[in-house]
Structure 1
Amino acid sequence: MKKTILLTLCVTISIMNTVVAQKQKKEDQKAIKDMCGCYEVNFNFTETFNYVDDSTYVPSEVKHDKGLEWVELVEDSKDKIALQHLLIVGDPAHPHIVKHWRQDWEFENTDLYMYNGDNEWTYVSLPKNEVKGQWSQKVFQVDDSPRYEGSSSWVHVDGKSYWENTTTAPLPRREYTKRSDYNITLRRNRQEITETGWIHDQDNDKVLREAGKEDVVIAQEKGYNTYTKVDDSKCVSAQDYWKKTSAKWTLVRSKWDAVFARDKNLSLEDKVDNKQLYKYLFSEEEYQNEADISTVIESFVKK
């Protein structure tokens, strides 16, 4: 009798845990997909502290910028959601569309590429129990090459939904042509869904990493980017651009997926024939088929 009661109790607890986990996952999926749509974006960055014992040190300038951005849902499966950002710039009557960053979310994913400086990523395989209930966020460059990745749990409490993670990343575009005194950004990211859209909140360290030495924090910065939802009709130009070009970028993503599936450390060339990868792939005439796309991407992968 006692064994029967105990077995029944264990089954009941297991069912309750499964129901709770399924409810949590649905809330996570909704929060991620709530980042889709048309947004007025404000980008704000400022260097807060520096730790260089050098009177000639010049901190980065404060950056305030804004734009209109369409976030497209490009994949929505059981355990993966992919969002492509498209920036709308120029004359509103004749806008120019910039294929911007992409964020992929994968449920209980164990395979990550962690940035190690100087265009190198270290492959990491995490234990399954370490990522239980978590979502990894993988962020990619404009050419769909890797940028940064991390795994954490979405939190839904007091009417808030947010995801926080700390991970290493390359220098942001606003910095990498201007700064050479550090080679890693240690990013503390928080993405929070709000009533008006969402917020990307950052507290970052600017880190100098050299072989055989301890990491040195050169300076710190604050980033606060707000995405305010507006009517989708304001982003029609970006939606039209994606309809015309999505097939090509599907091929690009597929090629990169094949590279990542090798599950080994990755080192990329900055330029090939003095030209960066995005300049090849952004061509409207060339690199439109699978073979050409594969060849040019492989040319940037160091053997």
Structure 2
Amino acid sequence: MKIFNLIVGLATLVTVSAHAQDKLEQDRNSIKALAGFYKVNFNYAEVTSPNPDYAFSKPYRSHGNEWAEIIVDEPKKIVIQHMLAINDSTVIKHWRQDWTYEDPEIMLYTQDNAWKKVNLTAADVKGKWTQKVYQVDDSPRYQGYGTWSHVGGHDSWQSETDSPLPRRESTVRKDYNVLNRGSRITITKDGWMFEQDNKKVVRTPQGDKLIATEKGYEEFTKIDPVKFAYAQKWWENQKTYWAAVRDVWADFAKTSNTNFKVQTSANGKLLYETLFSLGDQSIKEKWSATQNKEKIKTALLPYLVK
């Protein structure tokens, strides 16, 4: 009888393990499906406010051609770099998303371009993926974790976390300082949808005050890769330099205290301008990997506040 129970127990353990492995692979396939060549429609609109006299902002609509390339593909880590293809001669290295599985370390946004490192428990992250989003200069933007769902043929993931103001409002809005992002990603037959339920918040030592909520839809629809020939050529030349940028940022985050702050401007120059200019110089002068890291670290220091 004991032997029978042992056999049953082992069989159950193997079944559970196989199921978890199947689920992990489903998750990985969904994340990798985010990569590709897309036309993106951006739509945002404020929908409610607790203040009856609040003046709602004008809805934001935009579109562009975006290439999302997998640059790291490991069993529990997938990194996707986005590039905006403006025309046949202009490309912008856009945002980046790192996906990590059952990752206990996360950086949470506080306010005023400051983040704090938090350690999560194994129970918090069991079976979950963290999406770590980075700006065009590879500085942190926001990080949130959640579970991928694969029910009824629908693949989706969602989380809630705080972030700085979106780029579309960071230079024109001063009436709030934190965006609480409710994010939902859904894979579609033609690409994917990035839906957001966002809260615009004024954060002070006394607490948070909601000023408005907004709905956001970013629709990624697959298109012909031929539109991205220049972007692919540009990235082929630049990718070694930007790998060094990522390494320098990772080193800084690893050695910093639990809190750190990023200044967007220093010495009269914006952070992304400094790093993009350095990238062009790196290509022109054919810097080595060691030279890249040294020069990037020196360039970043004025922007970092530990």
Q: Same fold (TM over 0.5)?
A: yes
- After superposing the two structures, state which structure 1 stretch, 79-88 or 44-53, moved more: 44-53
Percent identity (aligned): 39
Structure 2 CA distance for aligned equivalents of residues 72 and 39 of structure 1: 11
- SS of 2:266 mapped into structure 1: coil
Structure 2 CA distance for aligned equivalents of residues 132 and 121 of structure 1: 24
1:82 matched to 2:76? The reply is: no
* Equivalent in the alignment of 1:130: 124
- Give the aligned residue type for 1:264: T
Structure 1 CA distance for aligned equivalents of residues 70 and 264 of structure 2: 29
- After superposing the two structures, state which structure 1 stretch, 202-211 or 43-52, moved more: 43-52
- SS of 2:12 mapped into structure 1: helix
Structure 2 CA distance for aligned equivalents of residues 86 and 239 of structure 1: 9
1:298 matched to 2:301? The reply is: yes
Alpha-carbon distance, 1:198 to partner: 0.3
* Equivalent in the alignment of 2:200: 206
* Equivalent in the alignment of 1:108: 102
Structure 2 CA distance for aligned equivalents of residues 116 and 105 of structure 1: 21
Alpha-carbon distance, 1:189 to partner: 0.3
- SS of 1:143 mapped into structure 2: coil
Structure 2: state its 5+ residue gaps: none
The structure with more helix, counted as a fraction of residues: 2
Alpha-carbon distance, 1:27 to partner: 0.7
Alpha-carbon distance, 1:29 to partner: 0.7
* Equivalent in the alignment of 1:164: 158
- After superposing the two structures, state which structure 1 stretch, 163-172 or 123-132, moved more: 123-132
Structure 2 CA distance for aligned equivalents of residues 285 and 227 of structure 1: 29
* Equivalent in the alignment of 1:259: 252
Structure 2 CA distance for aligned equivalents of residues 103 and 143 of structure 1: 13
Matches within 5 A, 1:63-74: 63-74=60-71
1:248 matched to 2:241? The reply is: yes
* Equivalent in the alignment of 2:139: 145
Structure 1: state its 5+ residue gaps: none
Alpha-carbon distance, 1:299 to partner: 2.3
Alpha-carbon distance, 1:142 to partner: 0.3
- Give the aligned residue type for 1:177: T
- Give the aligned residue type for 1:9: V
The CA deviation string for residues 139-197 of structure 1, in whole angstroms up to 9 with x for no partner, is 00000000000111100011110100000010001111111111100000001111000
What is the alpha-carbon root mean square deviation over aligned residues?
Answer: 1.4
Alpha-carbon distance, 1:220 to partner: 0.6
1:239 matched to 2:242? The reply is: no
Structure 2 CA distance for aligned equivalents of residues 185 and 285 of structure 1: 33
* Equivalent in the alignment of 2:275: 281
* Equivalent in the alignment of 1:19: 18
- Give the aligned residue type for 2:32: K
Scaled by the length of structure 2, the TM-score of the pair is 0.93
- After superposing the two structures, state which structure 1 stretch, 186-195 or 283-292, moved more: 283-292
Structure 1 CA distance for aligned equivalents of residues 98 and 261 of structure 2: 21
- SS of 1:52 mapped into structure 2: coil
